[in-house]
Every structure is written in structure tokens, then in C-alpha cells.
Structure 1
Amino acid sequence: MTEVRPPYDDEIDLFELFETLWRGKWKIITTTFVAALVGITFSFVQPNSYQVSTPIQNGKQSVFLPYIALNDLLKDKGLLFDSEKNSIGFSFNSVSVFEMFVAEFNDYEEMINVLSDNYFVKQSIEDLDETDKRRALINFAKSFALKPPSKNGESWLLSFEWHDGLEGARLLDDAIQQTLINTQKLTKGNIDNLASSVDIRNSFEVDKLRNELRLIGQSEKTRDKKKVQYLIEQSAIAKEIGIESNRLTPNDLSQNLQNGISLSVGSNEIPFYLRGYKAIDKEISLISNRSDEEALLMASGYIEIERKILWLENDLSSSQLRSSSQLIATDSPNKWVKYDLALADSKSQKKSKLYVALSIVLGGMIGIIFVLVNNSIRKRKESASKV
């Protein structure tokens, strides 16, 4: 005989469902309570961390007033930074110092140095080899960030996530202080290098000018020899025709002075021998007896080159740069950037309420599912026993 099974009713009876849940309410409550206890326990066991952030920006312009003379000197020497005209130059103001600070902080070295002395970090990496320790320190350092301004913001943002907010703030402050000190050393070193470069450049320029003087001296000697040879010939002509004294009129002398000594005789030139061989011989004697220094003094361009050499040899730029370097070395870099960790915004990353809420919801769902499944199994067993 064929067993007749009652057809399944696919419709959900809400009243029956509610009645089933009500009968199993204590199971649901118990499951929810246990899950809530697990959530509470988990929230206590889960390690907490804090997200802390505070703005940081350029130091006040007044802090850099003592360095106006330094920037003027750099501009005068063609060493002042200009993004368009002199990208390899240098400047010392609130903007340039902050840029150096950001670059120095973002290389992580200062943060790594600070973290390597921290007890919590030491405990975390004590069993690692040197390579893994370095990698771990870098990962810890990345928890401390210096973020650029947002699209509509003005200030940079210092932020970090650490298990202890106060300890994290202290670590960050130590790293900032180290960064400022390194920025100070870097700036001093740059100024010292600029001073040395000025000395080297001046030395090269002086050598170049002295070489020019040497060439001018050699050229002047050749010109004097040529001139003496010309005068000897003019003297011989004057002696040959018996012109002992000057035969030139004042107008002729004026024209000769304007034209200078000609080394050739042309139809439009006044013969030089008309001055007389006495004057010509005397001039030959004077030119021949000149010392090298006297000959150089008569050379064209000598005075201007000597003036340049004197100016370069007495240039105070390098000593002034070194004075500025010492001023930077004795300055307090703490004023070069503005920040206040005491006013930082601190947020706990531990979401205890969320953990508990999720546990209650999950516990309730498990309880409901357990009651419904248990009720379904019970009904099947009852139906099977009646057949």
C-alpha cells in the first residue's frame, strides 16, 4: 500500500512563527547573553590604539628676521634660490626651512632612531634578525606620518596611531625635535659649503685675472719693442736731415696726440721725426728702461683688472656667510615650525560598543535560527510518528 504524505504548505504562518520564537525565547535570550559576554570579553582583550593628529605649519616670519641680511647676500652673489631663475640656489626663510623639515622627517631616520630606544618596540623586535628588525622599525615609523594639506586646507597634518596616546605623542615630539636639529645642521652645512664655494670661485677668478695680466704684460712688451724700433728709425731720419729739436706746430702736436704714434708713413700723416731726434732718443731711453711693473701699468685694461683682483681678494662674502652659519648654529630651531601636540585630536581606535552590539545581534540571530531549526526537526519527528 502506497504511503500518502501530506502536501507541504509553502505559506508562512507569522503567528505560528512568532509563537515558536516565543516558546524558545529563553534559548534566544541565553544565546544572546552568551554572545554579549563574548563581545564584552573580546573588547577588553583586544589591544587599544589611538589615532592622534595635529596641524603643523611654517614658523612665524618674525623668527627669520635675523636672516634678512643672509638672503640679501645670497641674492647679491647670485646664490639665492629662485624656482624659475636659480633652482640650485639656496634661501633661508619660513617656507624653505619647512620644506627641508618635511623632507628630513619623511626619510623616517629620526623616527626610527627614537623608536629603536622605545621599550615596547624593543620587546616587539628582540627576537628578529637585523634585517627584519630594520624592516619592523620602518613599519613602526610609518605609523607616524606628516601629511600634506588637503585640497582646500592650508596646514600640514602630523598624525600617528599608537597603543598609548601619550607615549605616541612623546615619541612624535622627540622625532620632531631630532628632525629640527638635523634641519639646523643641514642648513649650517649648506651655508658653510656656499662660503667655501664663494672662496673657490673667487680664487679661480683671481687666477684667471692674473693670467690676463700676464698676457697683457707680454703683449705690452711686444708693443714696446715695436714702438722702440719705430722710434729708432724716426730718430735716424731726424739725425740724417739734421732735425735736433721739435719742428711741429701746436696744431700738429695735437693731431699727433689724437692719432697716436703711427708705425707707417702715409701721405695724410704728420712725420714723427719732426719732433727732433733729442726728444725721440729720450723717449727711446724711457721706454727701454721701464721695469715690468711700470710697463704693465701703462698697458690698456691694467687698472680695471687690478681693481677686480683687489675687490675679489677683499670680498667679505664668505666670512659673512660663515657668520650667518654660526648664527644658525646658535639659534633655537624649535621656533622654525609651529605645532602643539597638547592640542592634538585623539581618537580611540577601540570600538567596544560596536563589538558588543555586533555580538548581541549575532547571538540573537544564532538563537533564532537554533529555535526555528529545532522546531522544524521536532515537527518532522512528530509527523513521522503519526504515520
Structure 2
Amino acid sequence: MSEELKPTYQDDEIDLVELLQTIWDGKWLIATFAAIAVLFGGAFAFLKPSTFEATTDIRPVTTIHAQLYSPSNALGFFTVSRELLLNSFVEFLDERSLFEAAIRKYELIDRSKFETEQDYDNAIVELAASIELLPPINEDGADKGESRRYWSIKFEGSEAKKWLAVLSEVTQAATLNVQENLISRFDTALLVAQQSKGFKLEDLQLAIQNANSDYTRKTSDRLAFLREQAAIARKLGVAKNTLEAQTFMANTGVVANVKSDTPFYLRGYEAIEKEIELIESRDDIRAFVDGLVKLEQDKRALEQDRTLDRAKVLFESTPIKSSEPFMAAEFDVYATDIESKSKRSLIVALSLVLGVMVGVMFVLIRSAVRNRKAKVTPLV
């Protein structure tokens, strides 16, 4: 006997109803594949460390808080504005050293994953450097594109609670640093102003001494001149001033009074010696020193100036030195916008779709294999 194969027919047409029926018949198998895929996908999604993106706004202090500095600012010696407080706060954040200390304190990076302390330190520095400190852009929103009204901190990580603890630590440290910096700057400004005031007083005192010295020198020269002129007048027998003015008769018969520059001794030794006597009898020379009144007025005004004392009192009444709570910026850690980056739901959904697709393919392939085997039968 010989076996012959029955002829087979190649049918390239797809029967949609048959295809759907095949898929329906294998629904439980497809469901099994989908369940396995969801199981593995879910396990991956939930065992994988969750990641997040956190954004925290840094706002200037309120106008109400800023009003607490008004009395001190009104004096004009040391002005503390909302902009100064905010900029100082941002400057300390931008140094990153505060972040590095807080990251280390709250173990935002696992030390056990690094072989050496140097590697661990480098990782902390890199993580602190990756924190974005974003300035405000397009604050009024008038232009199209991205708009950000305030400074903000943006960070991507995997442990939200630890990051919030780091933010809280950094906020307190930066605020304290700003406060200490402002106190130091005020003390420095006060010291410089006091030194400047002292220098001005020294200059005025020196100017007064110079004015007195100039008077002494001028008086000495004057007395020497007067004594010489008095001696000449006595020698010539000129007791009184006789030539203050001379009268001449012109040829036309007109009388003219002509004042001429006469020698000083012609005033007479009586007047000259009287002037010498008066000069030598002066007990208080201040009335005769040129410019002394103005110099003494300037010195007195500077000595009586209480601007620096008042500036210190008013500064100590501000939140920087008083019992009022000091704030450099509005920084609410718990208002941080935390957005998950893990996409766990998406992973599970994609796992489900992939499982269904694999299940459908398996069912269709299995059905095609069975149909081919059924069509190939031996001939007797």
C-alpha cells in the first residue's frame, strides 16, 4: 500500500468572523497572558524607586512684613528692602554649601553605595549642583512662552520626605545667614560712619588750630609792622594823622580833594601805638580769627549729630535684631509642588496592552498551526 497526501488548497483570504471567533475562543488564554504581564509590570513599577519633580517658589516678604523696617529706612542710614532680603536669601542658596550640608545630614544619598568618603563627597557636590535655582521670567505674563513670577527651586529625586526635610533645613540656615550678614553689614557701616565722623572732627580741629596759628602769625607780623611805623612817626614828630587827604588849587580856580596812598606812619604814632596796645591786650582772640566761627559751627554740628546713635536704636527695633520673627523670603516648604515621574499607572497599562497583544498572537498562531495540521491528512 502507498500513502498519498490529499491535495491541499492555499487560501490567502482572511475570514474576519473566524478570526474574531478564534480570539474569543482563546480569551482565557489571552487573559492569562495579560494577567502575567500586568503582574510583572506592576512588580517592576512598584519595586522600582519612585521618582518625583519638586518645585518650590521663593517669594519676597509681604508688604506688611516690609513695613516693620520703615522707621529704620526713613533715617536713610541703612535701608532694608524686600529686594535686598530676597536677593541675599537667593545668594546664600546659590552657594550650594547649605544644600550640601543638609543632603549629608538627612542622608539624601546612601553612604553605603560608595567605597570611599571622597566618592561620597563628590556625589553630594554633584547632587547639590543639580538643584536648579530658576529666576523669574516674563513676570507679567504679557509675552507668550514660559512664565515664572518668582524665583523657584526645582529638584528631581526619589525620596520626597527627605527632600522636604532638606528644604526646611536649608530655609532655616539661609534665613539665619541672611540675618547674621545684615547685622554684620550694619555693624561695618556703623563703624565706618563713626570712623568717618572721627576723621571729620579731627580735620575740623586741625583747621581750627591752623586758623589760630594763622592769627598768631598774622598778629605777630602786624605788631612788628605797627611798631616800625610808630617808631618812624615818633622820629618825624607825627603824633596825629595829618595827611589823610590833601587839598589842591588848580589853575582854573577849582578846588579838588585828592586822596593819595600815604605812608602808614603819617597816621601818627598816637593812633598806631593805641592799636598796638589794643592788640596786645586781647584776652580772647576768637573774635578776630578769620573763619573760626564757621569752623566751630561745623565742629559743633558734627559733635551734636545723633544720626548714628538713632540708626543703631532703630535698627535694633527691626526684626533683624528684635524679638519679631525675621524672614528673608516667603518660602513655604510644604507648599512645594511634587509631581511623580514614576508613571506607575502608565507602566501597568502598557504591560496590560503588551500582555493582550502577546496573548492574541499566541492564540492566532496556535490556531493556524492546528488548522494546518487538520488539512494535512494521509491517503489510504
Letter in 2 for 1:298: F
Aligned equivalents of 1:27 and 1:145: distance in 2? 50
Equivalent residue, structure 2, for 1:262: none
Equivalent residue, structure 2, for 1:115: 103
Does 2:340 align with 1:348? Answer: yes
Aligned identity (percent) is: 27
Letter in 2 for 1:338: E
Does 2:356 align with 1:364? Answer: yes
Equivalent residue, structure 1, for 2:215: 220
Structure 2: gaps (5+ residues): 1-7, 142-147, 246-257
Report the secondary structure of 2:339's partner residue.
strand
Range moving further from structure 2, 296-305 or 24-33: 24-33
Equivalent residue, structure 1, for 2:4: none
Q: 1:126 to 1:31 in 2, by over 3 A?
A: closer
Does 2:111 align with 1:124? Answer: yes
Count of aligned residue pairs for this structure pair: 348
User: Residue 220 of structure 1: CA displacement?
Assistant: 3.4
Q: Which has the higher helix share?
A: 1
Q: 1:267 to 1:384 in 2, by over 3 A?
A: farther
Equivalent residue, structure 1, for 2:40: 38
Equivalent residue, structure 2, for 1:83: none
Equivalent residue, structure 1, for 2:294: 304
Equivalent residue, structure 2, for 1:204: 199
Out of 231, 235, 238, the residue aligned to residue 243 of structure 1 is 238
Does 2:111 align with 1:138? Answer: no
The CA RMSD over aligned residues, in Å, is 4.1
Equivalent residue, structure 2, for 1:105: 93
User: Residue 146 of structure 1: CA displacement?
Assistant: 4.8
Equivalent residue, structure 1, for 2:252: none
User: Residue 100 of structure 1: CA displacement?
Assistant: 1.3
Report the secondary structure of 2:342's partner residue.
coil
Does 2:275 align with 1:283? Answer: yes
Letter in 1 for 2:65: V
Per-residue Cα deviation, 1:37-69 (whole angstroms, up to 9, x for no partner): 111111220222444445442222332334333
Contact 2:50/2:340 (<8 A) preserved: yes
Equivalent positions of 1:1-387 (< 5 A) are 13=14, 15=16, 28-74=30-76, 91-118=79-106, 120-121=107-108, 123-124=110-111, 127=114, 129-141=116-128, 146-151=133-138, 152=141, 153-245=148-240, 268-269=260-261, 272-287=264-279, 294=285, 298-327=288-317, 328-368=320-360
Letter in 2 for 1:206: L
Give the number of the structure whose alpha-carbon radius of gyration is greater: 2
Aligned equivalents of 1:130 and 1:298: distance in 2? 80
What TM-score does the superposition give when structure 2 sets the normalisation length?
A: 0.73
Contact 2:108/2:163 (<8 A) preserved: no
User: Residue 162 of structure 1: CA displacement?
Assistant: 5.0
Range moving further from structure 2, 33-42 or 303-312: 303-312
Q: 1:380 to 1:164 in 2, by over 3 A?
A: same
Contact 1:191/1:321 (<8 A) preserved: no
Q: 1:33 to 1:378 in 2, by over 3 A?
A: same
Aligned equivalents of 1:298 and 1:311: distance in 2? 22
Range moving further from structure 2, 272-281 or 182-191: 272-281
Letter in 2 for 1:114: A
